[in-house]
Amino acid sequence: MTEENKTANPGRPSATQQYYNNNAAALVDRYERAEMFATHERLAGFFAPGSRLLECGSGSGRDAAFLLHKGMDIIALDSSPEMIAAARKRHPELKGRLLNGQIPEGLNGFSPESFDGLLSIATVMHLDPVQVRSFLEHAYKILRPAGRLYYSICLSRAGLNPAGFDDKGRYFLLREQEWWLNLTVKSGFNLADTMINRDGLGRREVLWLTIQAIKSTTIHLDS
C-alpha cells in the first residue's frame, strides 16, 4: 500500500468513525493543542532515526509529523477520510504518507516484516477484544525481527454506557492494565516499558496506559 488515501476498509462507517468524519476540523484543532512533550520524547527515544514506521490512527497528523521531522520514514493509516483531509491541511509535509484504512483489516495490505516500528496512540481502545487480538497479531507479522511496538489506550473514562459507548456514539474498550500487558506478551512481544499518565487535554477522568514492546522470536497465542 503506497497510494495516498487508498481505502482498505470500504463500506458503511461505524458510529465511532462517523463521529470523526463529522467533526474532523474541530478535532484536529483540539488534538494539536494537547500537551505531547513527554509522549514525543518517549517516541523519539524508542524509535531510531531512519526507521520505517507505520502509525495506526493518524488523527491530526501531529505525531506522524513529529516523527518525520525526527528522521523517520513514516506512513499513517486512519479510518476517517475527513480526518486525513484535515491532517493534510495542517501538516502538508505528510503528503503521500496518509492512507485511509481501518484497523485491523487495513493491515492485511502490508507485507510481512516490512516495518521497523508500529505506533498507535488513542486508537486501539476503539476496537473490541477480538479486533485487539487481531491488531496485535497483524502487528507482529508486519514488524521486522526485534521490531518495536508503541501504543496507548485509556484505562478509565467517564460517561460510558454499559455497552461501552459515550454520548457521541464512540465505542471504548476499557480493561485493566494487566489485560493489555498479558495480551501484548501472548501476541509475541516482550515488554520494554509501560507508563500510566494523565490526559494531555486536561480531562481529569481520563487515565492513559502506554505500552512499549519489542517483537520476540517466539509467539504464544492463546485461543
Enumerate the domain spans of the chain: 15-215
pLDDT level of residue 45 (50, 70, 90 thresholds): very high
Contacts of 152 (CB under 8 A, 6+ apart): 39, 120, 121, 122, 208, 209, 210, 211
Mean pLDDT of 60-79: 97
In angstroms, the CA 126 to CA 171 distance is 5
Q: Is the pLDDT of residue 8 over 60?
A: no
Q: Is the pLDDT of residue 221 over 80?
A: no
pLDDT digits (tens, 9 = 90+) for 105-142: 999 999 999 999 999 999 999 999 999 999 999 999 99
pLDDT level of residue 2 (50, 70, 90 thresholds): very low
- Contact of 42 with 12, CB cutoff 8 Å: no
Q: How many Å separate Cα 82 from the centre of its chain?
A: 17
Q: How many CB atoms lie within 10 A of CB 6?
A: 13
Q: Is 147 helix (H, G, I), strand (E, B) or coil?
A: strand
The more confident residue out of 30 and 179 is 179
Residue type, 3: E
Question: Taking the alpha carbons of 198, 94, 70, 189 in that order, is the dihedral positive or negative?
Answer: positive
In angstroms, the CA 14 to CA 33 distance is 26
pLDDT level of residue 10 (50, 70, 90 thresholds): very low
In angstroms, the CA 29 to CA 192 distance is 32
Q: Is 207 helix (H, G, I), strand (E, B) or coil?
A: strand
Residue type, 45: G
In angstroms, the CA 5 to CA 90 distance is 16
Spelled out in words, what is the top-level CATH class assigned to the domain 15-215?
A: alpha beta
